[in-house]
Structure 1
Amino acid sequence: MPTRVLLQSRLSSSRLPGKALLTVAGQPVVALAARRAGNTGLDVVVATSDQPEDDAIADALGEIGVAVFRGSLHDPLRRFYDATRDLADDDLVVRLTGDNVVPDGSFVQQMIDDMRAAGEQYIRVAVTDITGLGAEVFSAGLLRQAHRIATDHYDREHVTPWIRRHTADLSVNPPLTGPVKRLRCTIDTLRDFTVAARALRGVPDPVAVPWRVLLDRFIDAGGAVPAPLPGTVPNPIGQGPWVLDAARLGGGVDLAEVARVLDAAAMAGVTHVHTDSRYGDASARIGQSLAHGLSERLSVVAQVAPLTVVPPSAPAGWAAAAVEASVYNTLRLLQTKTVDALLLSWSDWISWSGGGPLGLATVQGDGRCRTIGVALDDASQVAPALADPRVGYLRIPLRWRDIQIPRSDVIVTCSDSAARGLPFVTSVSLPAASVAQVEQQAASFQEPPT
């Protein structure tokens, strides 16, 4: 049964533009990914777009003998369909991406064997804790059905969602032993690229090295992702028990040290960083680190700048517009399109006939944040805040032991370290201005809360 491996690739990546042609192990990323996928003799084709910017991919691969197919940029499903027109319905198509250099021919063959043994026409890698092992195998006939029937933009952009909904959606976890737990071995950000470059440095034959050996090298190169910290509780944004407060990361700290602090925090298990317009240029400094790859490891909770420019007698629409403008500026500084949570001070939340939360709700509806909430300064504000169903996040300054949080859907972050372990507290938020301080805090969070 003939098999064709299609590696999806383009230069117009939003997080790391041009990554396909970055050099690792002496060759372009996409070339290494293609050669590894074909190292057991499988038919491998890189499926890129027909746009001028992807001429560079086609030219570079053509010079080294890697087959290329060019098709629609905005309709990858059509691109895959067109790239397999010569196959019979029973022939197999393997979907890989050009930024994942770990999968090799034996990895692909094992998936094919597993699918055949199950008597199915579709299989995918299901492991969720390792980013960079994504792969799918399906029949050319199923691909043609999807192309003929699927009309939804999501289905066409991601190639296989229609197939998954119309099959048994067979999934497999590759056989993993040893230290591999949680890992990023993809190349989607600048940090990913530096990890990959270290992982592949000095490998005698980067095309032939077994995929499992390469995983271990990614671990040693810094690709490991920490496990959730003890005391982590499920919540809508996946916030762990330790939030890094950026209050000390303003202009008094060297910019490179800010990047080291954020990286150390992420590696120690911090999931979120809290920033505020009152923290000077901390948001801009965080944004630089996020743009260089930390956005895949750290999410942001941001407090909206106080609405001091809005007159007390202003209508709700004025306050709502001021909130949206402030959020726009915050996202600009953070160099991101979205954050996990946006907060208003309690006074701004209750003023201007509710214009402040109206503006936040609009931002949330536009997809620029996942949840909205308030920063409180008095325990008496808890009850009225929770009475508003829009509130999904509370930031409180002290461990008010006698307060009640009757809503399980609300994230509560406290700036008092002694609050860790209280039943209503999701996380504690602690500032740090050095890697040493992060390491000291990390030690305490490795133990279950008391």
Structure 2
Amino acid sequence: MSDIAVAGLLIAALFLILGSGVWIGLTLSGVAWIAMQIFSSRPAGDAMAVTIWGSASSWTLTALPLFIWMGEILFRTRLSQDMFKGLAPWMQSLPGRLLHTNVVGCAVFAAVSGSSAATCATIGKMSLPELKRRGYPDDMVIGTLAGAGTLGLLIPPSIIMIVYGVSADVSIARLFIAGVIPGILLALLFSGYIVFWSLRHPDRIPPADAKLPFIEKLKASMSLIPVALLILSVLGSIYAGIATATEAAAVGVVGAMVISGAQGSLNWHSFKEALLGATRLYCMMALILAGAAFLTLAMGYIGLPRHLAEWIGSLGLSKFQLIVMLAAFYVVLGCFLDGISMVVLTMGVIMPTVTAAGIDPIWFGIFIVLVVEMAQITPPVGFNLFVLQGMTGKDLLYIARVTLPMFFLMVAAVLIIYFVPQLVTWLPQQMAP
């Protein structure tokens, strides 16, 4: 049976099982079992048991539930309100004024939350009603929030980076540090677009509030101190080589509890809700990762990744053409799958090709995060679109349309890091080996 026929059969099985409503993790395991049973001589049951246990017991993966738990704790605090209070006075003099709080607020919260959806929901909970009350245009408020919410994936700590690091066997600490400059770059592109748009449409921006004295602005900024200390403790401990990603995640959980306790939002009910929320989300991710690990093993046994890499190599694509092809592939895939499924489902097949093309796996990790970010705002399965639809009651296609400029800015960010790869690789190279 040819490779194309085998791949076609497995893809058909994947979509058939997914379409019947089976969980993604179980679907991946089922397709892997079919591949092993039909196309390999190794017993499928033995391979499944060994692979799933190995995946579930990975020490590297321990950082994932801890960062999720940290985000769940902070989601239940007054952090977003305090951030708005601290940031708003400094935004009044910029073209676009308080629209920038969406971008800056998401960038700051992204540094203490590894989730795009959590970042979008937490900042949106504060900014949507506040900006609407002040008369800012809905299309810009929703569009910039949907785009800036994706910074939760790029600015470390990032759940998708942990998933990529485990799937591709890449240092998570180096991935985290590599995401800092591209995250700031993307936030600047979003804010630059707000400035450009507001200068073209000055009549749609409400007048500025009364100017505050510099001392008053500093006093308002005091509310940013807890989140700044938390970012410093988590990322600083990794960058200084004091802690691994897992240890820094534990520091983040303790810091989030201290902030929550200081604000008075930490009680038995909120603690239990945060713990249960993190457990549910992690169990879903762990099942997907375990299924993907088994599928990767099955693909290896039947030789599909090697043959695919050889086929792409025979096309004679340049490095740029390969990146363009992969970007298009992931954006299309993102129309049907969530980001984590996209990464774990494809890494076993894609990484040999990427390695053979001489692409730095750290750089490729940041590239993957950027294209997964694009998928977060493309219908029909764009998680940030779903979050904003639930919060605003607007039509999904309307939200996708007003978010389109942010999509093109992400495309621009991919091109920038391709032509200036040092934006990604310089900081990791400064880390202690």
TM-score where L is the length of structure 2: 0.26
Structure scoring higher RCO (CA < 8 A, sep ≥ 6) equals: 2
Bigger helix fraction: 2
Bigger strand fraction: 1
